Structure 1
Amino acid sequence: MEKISGLNDWVLDKKVPNSRRFAAVKISLQYPDPALFIDLKPKERIKAIDKVFKENYQKLISLNLFESHEVEPPKKRPRFIIAKLKYNQLKKLNALGYVAGIRIQSIDDAVLNVKEAVVLDKYFCVKMTVVIEVEGVSSKKQDIEKRFVLIRAKSFDDAYEKLEKSQDDYVKPYLNPDGRFVRWRIESYDDCFETNIQSPADLNDPAGVEVYSKLSKRKNTAKTVWDGKF
């Protein structure tokens, strides 16, 4: 079930049949191909995209798969659904073409497999520069983003390689509130930092987890000299 993430992190109680087991999931609906709306005017594109999401949401709900569900805002464009459904219905949900992804949040009568979550790979934070390009806008200054991405990999090179393979997903255009196409294009990979994170459980540390660090120098002044007092 290729669209489902987190499924292998759980160990099911074999005494409980899957027909009686429930799973809590977060579902993301497929964003329609923007090229389908390229001939429309900006405001018409917004309405057309909203209509597609509403129609796909209604199709999903009409299948009566959910014990309960709620939609993440905004409701005029329902992209994400938090739902509870029977475990044995996941396969049917996975097969729907208008469903982009399914994230397992919890499973009844199952425990999180900590050993499965702890992998040999390390956790790296990659710093990148992303250029924000807006259709038809040629202002003197262009918006950019300094993005930090946490990724699991075997080495620095492996981290860069994984991101390069998936960079086409970042550049897929979408429509802004003005109906113009926007894309966030990765311009460069600027740095890579190996973190001390060993497993996802480390992220629960109340003191936080360091994901990026870079040493530099600055001019020392009388105001910045520490006197050693606490």
Structure 2
Amino acid sequence: MELRIVLVRPRDPNNIGACARAMANFGVRELWVVAPHPPVWREAKSAVGAVDLLAGAREAAAVSEAVRGCRTIWATSSLTGRRPSIATIDLPLEARPPGPAALLFGPEKTGLNADDLAHASAILRIPTGADCPSMNLAAAVAVACYAWTREAPPPARGGPAPATARLRERLWLELRRFASQAGWQAGERTRRLKAAVYRSNVSDGEAGMLLELGRRLMKRCS
């Protein structure tokens, strides 16, 4: 199954263990943990039936590292008090997007921040009651894994697959370098540019073409 669960800055190792068990319930095997707290997260006690999955979990220092190689990156959020600048997709899914795919889950207390969301092309929203919109981390992972693994139509054919996260990161870093050399100051506009790169449906070939064009333009202008 081409689905990667990415837990961003989780604070409780027991929650990580519970997420691993929820993943195992639905046959999802790839777990990444970004900047976990505390460092002893692998000693989580609640991963009953998911010891191997938890032992094989990968640790990353940044979201960009955890999603590398993925073609679809979706974030999860209750969207309480937020107006997202990217598409919102409500469960149940009408079709699964191209894989490999990553689902981002934020810290228990705060959820994903703007920098985390900049890596995603869409927000996967689990409809919940207005009186209690926030879900327990492991419960959210379980619902998302169930929705992803249930029978659903395959992704629509007819176009190239989206570029991998690694190639999008290269494109973003080059664009940031070009912008800096052009005198564009870092700030909100830079963050919006990054979000646009990750949100786009640019293919591998198109991303490579844009990289080559940018290099040629910078060479000519230098």
Larger radius of gyration: 1
Higher helix share: 2
Q: TM-score, normalised by structure 1?
A: 0.22
Q: TM-score, normalised by structure 2?
A: 0.22
Higher strand share: 1
